[in-house]
Structure 1
Amino acid sequence: MIYLQLFLSFMKIGLFSFGGGYAMIPLIQKEIESHGWLSASQFVDIIAIAEMTPGPIAVNSATFVGYKAAGIVGGLIATIGVATPSLVLILIVSRYFFKFQDHPVNKMIFYGIRPVIVGLIFSAAVFVAQTAFLKEITVLNLSYMLENFLYIINFKGVLIFAISLICLVKFKINPILMIVISGILGLLITI
């Protein structure tokens, strides 16, 4: 049953996601939460791994989530689920797209989709930032969060972010090298 749930969930994600892998992250998060496959911190770890490994982030995320939820077969099924809608749609659309690419309705559709994609990517960034910079808390009350601001901030995550931002912007360090350095800093800080 979990295999069918993985396939259908990731097929739905692949079918209704526009804008690439980063735009899929909120949809993947919602599916994971609704099925209880992973915790929020595990999901953020999977996003980090999916970004570091070669290939599209959506496919990598689906593979890792499927693997964590149901082993190797689950990873394979989730990957097939997320890739199937794109394959089918590309085969259908490619046949007709060039005939209608300059049609005003087609241009308006793509013009309308752009802000939604930016919103989805921003939503994913906020989720990752919350998980990286804030400790897990059970009370989601704004007054509690303001009163205990210093307690709920993950200073280690903020410190690594600040160091990496300074190194990337001011010293123009290669982003790949910065990922390695950040990983080492994270390891050293948690020891």
Structure 2
Amino acid sequence: MILLELFWSFCKIGFTSFGGLSMVPLINSEMLSHGWMTLSEVSDIVAIAEMTPGPLGLNCATFAGTRVAGLAGAVSASLGVLSPTLLICAAAAVMFEKFRESDFMKKVMYGIRPACLGLIIAVVCSLTATNYTNAAGSISYGAALIGVAATVLLLKFKVSIPKVILLSAVLGLFLTR
């Protein structure tokens, strides 16, 4: 019964929050209302989840489920918090497949492409401003050289991304401060 309660609690959290820190008050409320944890224990779980790689909500669900009902609780809570996303993605995939050939969908997709390109360009511009300038606000020529070299290696020589990242890190140690 507790596994079903964990699943349902985290399923509600997944459906009613937007991920990240917005889940913390809901997790806190669910844990306290069921008497599964104290406020201090929830704070500890959130702190650990923040330090652990991966999404905060999934990490909190895993740690809280483990604390409440062991490994089975971790699985139950994790499935609960993931269920809303899985259901929405599955429904979107079905709808996309169903309407793929419709003229309306083709027009929508045609309109989305330039918007996506614009968003990518905006991200590149904002990252360029922060990644290729130093604390004084002037251009960091070492960082710019690494960026150009990485782009050439990726596009012209088709070097794998992990190799380019490693080379960029090594160059960054020597060319920038």
**TM (normalized to structure 2)?**
0.53
CA deviations on 1:128-166 (whole Å, 9 max, x unpaired) are xxxxxxxxxxxxxxxxxxxxxxxxxxxxxxxxxxxxxxx
> Structure 1: any 5+ residue segments left out of the alignment?
103-191
Q: State the partner residue of 1:61.
A: 60
Letter in 2 for 1:3: L
Q: State the partner residue of 1:4.
A: 4
Q: State the partner residue of 1:34.
A: 33
RMSD: 2.4
Whole-angstrom CA distance in 2 between matches of 1:16 and 1:41: 23
Once the 2 structures are TM-superposed, how far is the Cα of residue 23 of structure 1 from its aligned partner? 0.6
The alignment covers a number of residue pairs equal to 102
Once the 2 structures are TM-superposed, how far is the Cα of residue 93 of structure 1 from its aligned partner? 3.2
Once the 2 structures are TM-superposed, how far is the Cα of residue 21 of structure 1 from its aligned partner? 1.8
Written as runs of structure 1 = structure 2, the 5 A alignment for 1:112-191 is none
Q: Is the partner of 2:54 in helix, strand or coil? A: coil
Identical-residue share of aligned pairs (%): 48
Letter in 2 for 1:13: I
Whole-angstrom CA distance in 2 between matches of 1:99 and 1:31: 40
Whole-angstrom CA distance in 1 between matches of 2:43 and 2:5: 21
Written as runs of structure 1 = structure 2, the 5 A alignment for 1:43-82 is 43-82=42-81
Once the 2 structures are TM-superposed, how far is the Cα of residue 91 of structure 1 from its aligned partner? 2.3
CA deviations on 1:87-146 (whole Å, 9 max, x unpaired) are 11122235459949x8xxxxxxxxxxxxxxxxxxxxxxxxxxxxxxxxxxxxxxxxxxxx
Letter in 2 for 1:50: A
Whole-angstrom CA distance in 2 between matches of 1:85 and 1:26: 18
Q: State the partner residue of 2:129.
A: none
Once the 2 structures are TM-superposed, how far is the Cα of residue 54 of structure 1 from its aligned partner? 0.7
Distance 1:99 1:32, change over 3 A: farther
Letter in 2 for 1:80: L
Q: State the partner residue of 2:172.
A: none
Greater RCO between the two (CA within 8 Å, min separation 6)?
1
Letter in 1 for 2:78: T
Q: State the partner residue of 1:15.
A: 15
Q: Is the partner of 1:61 in helix, strand or coil? A: helix
Whole-angstrom CA distance in 1 between matches of 2:31 and 2:52: 21
Whole-angstrom CA distance in 2 between matches of 1:31 and 1:8: 10
Q: State the partner residue of 1:188.
A: none
Q: Is the partner of 2:42 in helix, strand or coil? A: helix
Q: Is the partner of 1:91 in helix, strand or coil? A: helix
Whole-angstrom CA distance in 2 between matches of 1:73 and 1:21: 24
Written as runs of structure 1 = structure 2, the 5 A alignment for 1:84-103 is 84-93=83-92, 95=95, 99=108
Q: Is the partner of 1:55 in helix, strand or coil? A: coil
Letter in 1 for 2:84: P
Letter in 1 for 2:39: A
